[in-house]
Amino acid sequence: MNIYRTEQDSLGPMQVPDDALYGAQTARALANFPISGRPLSRPMLRALGLVKQYAARANRELGLLPVAIAGAIIAAAQEVVAGELDSHFPVDVFQTGSGTSSNMNMNEVIANRAAQLLGEQIGGKAVHPNDQVNLGQSSNDVFPTAIHIACVEQLHNHLLPALKGMEVHLRLKAEEFADVLKIGRTHLQDATPVRLGQVFNGYARQLELTRERLLFAADGLSELALGGTAVGTGINTHPQFAELAIAGIAEETGIEFREAEDHFEAQSAKDGLVALSGALKGCAVSLFKVANDIRFLASGPRCGIGELKLPALQPGSSIMPGKVNPVLAESMMQVCAQVSGNDATVTLCGLSGNFELNVMMPVMAENLLQGIDLLGNVVDLFSERYLKELEADRDRCDDLLDRSLALVTALVPVIGYDKSAELAKRAYAEGKTIRELLLAEDILPESEVNRLLDAERMTEPTED
């Protein structure tokens, strides 16, 4: 049998499970928003906990909170940061657009836990969720502050290191494949030769550039809205509160967070989050290209391109024995599709900065943090389980290269475009290679044919 206690908020009494650290406002939110069953993510809970921890410390230093109360709030907030109280944060992501329900959920849990630490009963407001835990704050500046903190931390601690690791693996493969010559492809048709190492260096550069774009977007989130309270004016907060609290958050995270230059911009607009979402979409586009190329280059193993050999991670078919599929490439591509779709959601949310407040922040946070997490996870797996074990099929590369009609491009400076095109058409019609046709008809001396059709020579600019 469930046991309840009665807690009071400004709308009246509410029944709350007796073992829950949350209070009346959270209970109302649970009744109002039984939508997805998805509460705020761990990074958001950690970020909100950090805000409450350093808000209490700042208010204590400013003489606005009794030392004992502040100490208990700080200790309770530290438990939130550590993930020890996660079960007490059940409010659905799809809630009020300012995140007020989650901010009050946080205030109530910390207030009740602080009361416990002081030896008081929960539910009696020995520590007050609004007057003390939320002192100097509003959901309207706390929630966007937490989104910035959570996104920047996850970028620096998860996605950016994962992308750097993948870049390193691609560079190593580029070195390993530096002497592997293969046919290039444009428009899905044969083109002039390339080195497989050049291709992989191109992939690595994509990853390097996407990291730079994400770092730029992360820097745009270093301004925090804390201190603006309800609409950006800072009503009911001490002039030094934001500076002190944000300094503590910056020290704790090791990230150079700072107070927003303009609190009206920080609370009414979410352009920084939209920019981050665009950078995540760009990252997804880069990763999709790499994964898609690798799965096509490994297609076969006998009737496709087959220039790469992928590690066999699992059986590929329930009906075709021996079939092995490019499963991690497909996994990465699906993640990229999800992140691209998330960007559309974040963009629509960014449009809802009505007057002094954006009212779609929780779903922005959900989509951004999901994207960062998914990309970081799949990049790590792709690097460790695919790229490390990736091999080149040198014989297959040589065979396809020798049979390509695109080698005729190297003859253009010597015999001209029109004659070269005629040779390519004849070689195709007669089922011969360019080399075979040149030698059979004694069009050029054999030594000149060997020089011109040297695939290695074709992979770099030439003067002659």
- What whole-number distance in Å separates Cα of residue 322 and Cα of residue 327? 14
Radius of gyration of the CA atoms of the chain, in A: 30
Selecting among 10, 187, 318, 447, the annotated active-site residue is: 187
DSSP assignment of 68-90 equals HHHHHHHHHHHHHHTTTTGGG--
Task: Point out which residues pair with 194 in neighbouring strands.
Answer: 182
Give me the amino acid identity at 24. A
17 vs 2: CA distance, rounded Å: 7
Catalytic residue among 87, 101, 138, 317: 317
- Amino acid identity, position 49: G
Find where tokens 């550069």 sit: 205
**Measuring CA to CA, which residue among 370, 290, 338, 317 is closest to residue 40?**
370
Q: Report whether 149 contacts 249 (CB < 8 A).
A: yes
Question: Which CB contacts under 8 angstroms, 24+ apart, belong to 24-27?
Answer: 24/108, 25/101, 25/104, 25/105, 25/108, 25/129, 26/90, 26/91, 26/101, 26/104, 26/105, 26/108, 26/109
The secondary structure element, H or E, covering residue 191 is strand 189-195
Q: Are 105 and 25 in contact (CB under 8 A)?
A: yes
Query: CB within 8 A of 302, min separation 6: which ones?
Result: none
To the query of whether residue 317 is one of the catalytic residues in this protein, the response is: yes
Active site residue 187: yes
Dihedral angle computed from the Cα positions of residues 198, 387, 398 and 413, in that order, rounded to the nearest 10 degrees: -10
9 bridge partner residues: 12
The C-alpha atoms of residue 462 and residue 416 are separated, in whole angstroms, by 16
**Strand 258-259 to strand 223-224: parallel, antiparallel, or no bridges (unpaired)?**
parallel
Residue 22 class from Cβ within 10 Å (0-12 exposed, 13-18 middle, 19+ buried)? Answer: buried
Residue 190 per-residue DSSP state: E
Instruction: List the catalytic residues.
Output: 187, 317
